[in-house]
A and B are shown apart, each in its own frame.
Chain A
Amino acid sequence: MVWNQNASLVRPQNLYLVVCISFVFGVSSAFPDLSDKFCTFKVTFRNFRLILSWELKNHSVVPDRYTLRYTVISRPDQVKIVEHCSNTTASSCDLTDVWEVLPETYSIRVDGFRGNTTLVQCSSYLFLVTHMSLEPPEFDIVGFTDHINVLVKFPPVIPKILGGGVLKFYLSLIIEEQSGNIVKKHNPELNENITGNFTYVIDKLLPNTNYCVSVYFKPRNLGAVHRSPVKCILLQPGQETESSESAKIGGIITMFVIAAVIVITIIILKRVGYICLRNHFPKVLNFYNFSTWVFPEMPPLETVAFVEVIHVNRKKKVWDYNYDDESDSNDDTATPQTNAGGYTMHGLVGRLLGPASASSATPEDCMEPDAEEPDPSEPDTDIDTEPLVPSGPSPGQSEGTSGAYECRGKQLQDPITEEDSWSTGGSGDKITFNVNLSSVFMRVLDDDLEVPPGLPSFPEETYNLQESHRLETSSLAANGEGTQPLFPTPSAECQWPEDVLSDESDSSESDVDIGDGYIMR
């Protein structure tokens, strides 16, 4: 009874163990790796033949013949025996003409016999698309100077399993070309009705170079790739001139094409408005006057004459802001000095007026031709401006005309400082400079005269304001910096009343003889 009780206790445990083991074996038999507890299956696509092979795990058990059976899962078909693989001694079977559908799950079973005894039964299932191993096709290569012909061996009739558009979809033929470390892959498109051998040309190769070629199928399901053994060949050396010339021509043409494409693209984008190019270069990139930079123009030759200018030192007068006529006329008009040569000299105008000094000029001031003594008591803070005027009012000379000179003289300031001390006839304080003859009065020196050379004087005849403008540009200006126009343009702030002007001057001629040997230009 005790044994019976123990047996009753043991039996559920044993049953449970058996169930578990059976469950494990049942599950393990369904693994998709074609691995049976007794056998391992393998499907290979070799030379366009579908080969199913198996291998027993227990090598101690060696059947002398095998029988293969199969069926499909997608239809409730009967299990079929492969006739040419029945009682076969080989552990493989060619199923090229048996299995005709690639996207199918096949259930297979192999029975191993020895005599009349079944030693082993192996079964499995496989989804052919993912479990078929694609081995590379056979091929040959023929080398030439600059290309290689690759001959891939295809069967005269494509297997049915690759028909119906499956070949083009499922198989991708890859031809690898290797030279040194450079590997190039070629993917020729396979025709649906391909029959016989397939020739592919690898061109644009370098002569006298060693190339190695390999061929394989690339499966669609990205499975393992099996490459063929590499075949290498040394290309024949070709004529270098032809290849080099063609290479050069090709390179030049390629460069031109690339440049043209780039330029056209930029032009199109610029016209469309996607890019904006600068039209105005910075000044530093302005090379229009580049020749001027390299070869600076020589100054035009001009006739020059040496002229001595004798400065007259005048005391500076401080304007006390007194608009009194007598005081202004006395202050602004310089006392003409008589030198040993009989010329009446006044201080020369050296520079243009500033705003302050310009505002001080009034028409009334312009009307006063009289000179006045400078006030020695007044500090000489302002620069005296004295025009060159005749020694005295000449007959027929209007006051306004001479006053015009004086007024313009007021508008300009003598840049000579009061520190400068000049003697009227001294030779120690002389300045020598070049003068443009077209802007000065010229006088032919006479031996009888004791006039210092280059000392002009103004004409005694009257003339209108417009003509005086020409005189202004031709007058001497004495300063240490060179020649300057003596008078400004008529647009100065001093506006002349028209009745002051005289029309008696001869303004039609360009050269006016102003008497005393001077010619006005």
Chain B
Amino acid sequence: MTSRCILQTTLLLYFSTMALAMSNDLLRSQLSSSSLECQELLLQLNGTTEYCLKDRINFEIPEEIEKSRQFQKEDIILITHEMFQKIFDIFRRNISRTGWNETTVENLLVKLHWQKEHLEIILEDVKEKENFTWDNRTLLHLKKYYLRIVQYLKAKEYSICAWTIVQAEICRNFFFLNILTDYLQN
């Protein structure tokens, strides 16, 4: 009886480990695929012209994101969720003056929303874990960063040049997102 329990426990641990490894790889590939698709949709929108150079601004993306610092798996999920959430909120704003294809924008919002929801589910499981300390500092920097973007759009009255500058900035966001998701593999 004891040997049988030991065998069952061993099998359970083995397959759980395999399942966790497979789930990390699955999440990584899913996030990478989502960010690439969003990036492609973003680039389909009409971009900057030479006349918009005067509207450029440095939004100061957090250094830990730009330098691709290694995070724990739970922090990566939290950060990526925050990024998808904020990007979704930005592109829900007034884009009437851009002349962008509304179908392309709608597809972008759908993909952003789906990925955000998926990460929320995973995040709830992560929050139930005990003895885990979140990287609140990085999260605070991210919130301030996206607030600056929103305030810039409001200040420029959602002009086409402002949206073009924001479009270029969000393209960088997706690149750093891809680097972050790569750390889930390890």
Residues of A within 8 A of B (CB): 26-27, 29-32, 71, 73-76, 79, 102-105, 107, 109, 123, 125, 127, 129-130, 164-165, 169, 220-222, 268, 271-273
Given contacts A30-B48, A104-B172, 12 further A-B contacts (CB under 8 A): A26-B49, A29-B49, A31-B46, A71-B53, A73-B48, A127-B171, A129-B175, A130-B39, A169-B179, A268-B7, A271-B7, A272-B4
Q: Which residues of B contact A75 (CB under 8 A)?
A: 56, 58
Q: Which residues of B contact A76 (CB under 8 A)?
A: 56-58
Report the nearest A residue to B42, measured CB to CB.
Answer: A127
- Please tell me which one of the listed residues A79, A109, A272 contacts residue B11 in the complex, with CB atoms under 8 A apart: A272
Q: Which residues of B contact A102 (CB under 8 A)?
A: 175
- Please tell me which one of the listed residues B7, B36, B176 contacts residue A272 in the complex, with CB atoms under 8 A apart: B7
- Please tell me which one of the listed residues B4, B49, B67, B172 contacts residue A30 in the complex, with CB atoms under 8 A apart: B49
Query: Can you give 20 contacting A-B residue pairs, CB < 8 Å?
Result: A26-B49, A27-B99, A30-B46, A30-B48, A73-B48, A73-B165, A103-B172, A103-B175, A109-B50, A123-B50, A125-B168, A130-B43, A164-B68, A169-B68, A169-B178, A221-B36, A221-B39, A268-B7, A268-B11, A272-B7
Interface set, chain B 37-86, CB cutoff 8 A to A: 39-40, 43-44, 46-50, 53, 56-59, 67-68
Give bound CA distance, A27 to B59, whole Å.
25
Instruction: Check B4 against A125 for contact (C-beta < 8 Å).
Output: no
Instruction: Check A74 against B50 for contact (C-beta < 8 Å).
Output: no
Report the nearest B residue to A78, measured CB to CB.
Answer: B53
Contact A107 B68, CB 8 Å, known A79-B53, A130-B39, A169-B179:
no
Report the nearest A residue to B70, measured CB to CB.
Answer: A165
Give bound CA distance, A329 to B50, whole Å.
139
Q: Which residues of B contact A29 (CB under 8 A)?
A: 49-50
Closest 8 CB pairs of A and B: A103-B175, A105-B168, A73-B168, A76-B56, A30-B46, A75-B58, A30-B47, A103-B172
Q: How many A-B residue pairs have CB under 8 A?
A: 82
Q: Which residues of B contact A74 (CB under 8 A)?
A: 56, 58-59, 168-169, 172
Give bound CA distance, A29 to B100, whole Å.
14
Instruction: Check A222 against B67 for contact (C-beta < 8 Å).
Output: no
Instruction: Check B4 against A271 for contact (C-beta < 8 Å).
Output: yes
Contact A165 B165, CB 8 Å, known A74-B172, A130-B39, A272-B7:
no
Most chain A beta-carbon contacts within 10 A, residue among B8, B50, B164, B169: B50
Give bound CA distance, A60 to B104, whole Å.
38
Interface set, chain B 1-25, CB cutoff 8 A to A: 3-4, 7-8, 11
Q: Which bracket fits the contact residues of B?
A: 20 to 34
Q: Which residues of A contact B99 (CB under 8 A)?
A: 27
Instruction: Check A105 against B48 for contact (C-beta < 8 Å).
Output: yes
B182 within 8 A of A: yes
Contact A125 B48, CB 8 Å, known A74-B168, A74-B172, A76-B56:
yes
Contact A73 B56, CB 8 Å, known A104-B172, A169-B179, A268-B7:
yes
Q: Which residues of B contact A105 (CB under 8 A)?
A: 47-48, 168, 171-172
Q: Which residues of A contact B11 (CB under 8 A)?
A: 268, 272
Interface set, chain B 144-182, CB cutoff 8 A to A: 164-165, 168-169, 171-172, 175-176, 178-179, 182
Give bound CA distance, A164 to B65, whole Å.
12
Give bound CA distance, A71 to B56, whole Å.
11
Report the nearest B residue to A124, measured CB to CB.
Answer: B50
Q: Separation in Å of the B77 CB from the closest CB of chain A?
A: 19
Instruction: Check A30 against B43 for contact (C-beta < 8 Å).
Output: no
Q: Separation in Å of the B110 CB from the closest CB of chain A?
A: 20
Q: Which residues of B contact A268 (CB under 8 A)?
A: 7, 11
Report the nearest B residue to A131, measured CB to CB.
Answer: B43
Q: Separation in Å of the A519 CB from the closest CB of chain B?
A: 66
Q: Which residues of B contact A272 (CB under 8 A)?
A: 4, 7-8, 11
Give bound CA distance, A164 to B68, whole Å.
8
Q: Separation in Å of the A103 CB from the closest CB of chain B?
A: 4
Most chain A beta-carbon contacts within 10 A, residue among B58, B59, B164, B168: B168
Contact A27 B46, CB 8 Å, known A164-B67, A169-B178:
yes
Q: Separation in Å of the A30 CB from the closest CB of chain B?
A: 5
Instruction: Check B48 against A107 for contact (C-beta < 8 Å).
Output: yes
Instruction: Check A32 against B56 for contact (C-beta < 8 Å).
Output: no
Q: Which residues of B contact A127 (CB under 8 A)?
A: 43, 168, 171
Give bound CA distance, A125 to B45, whole Å.
13
Q: Separation in Å of the B47 CB from the closest CB of chain A?
A: 5
Most chain B beta-carbon contacts within 10 A, residue among A105, A129, A222: A105
Q: Which residues of A contact B171 (CB under 8 A)?
A: 103, 105, 127, 129-130
Contact A220 B58, CB 8 Å, known A71-B53, A127-B168:
no
Instruction: Check A273 against B4 for contact (C-beta < 8 Å).
Output: yes
Give bound CA distance, A91 to B49, whole Å.
22
Give bound CA distance, A166 to B40, whole Å.
20
Give bound CA distance, A29 to B7, whole Å.
68
Instruction: Check A30 against B58 for contact (C-beta < 8 Å).
Output: no
Give bound CA distance, A289 to B7, whole Å.
39
Report the nearest A residue to B61, measured CB to CB.
Answer: A74
Contact A222 B68, CB 8 Å, known A26-B49, A31-B46, A103-B175:
no
Give bound CA distance, A76 to B55, whole Å.
8
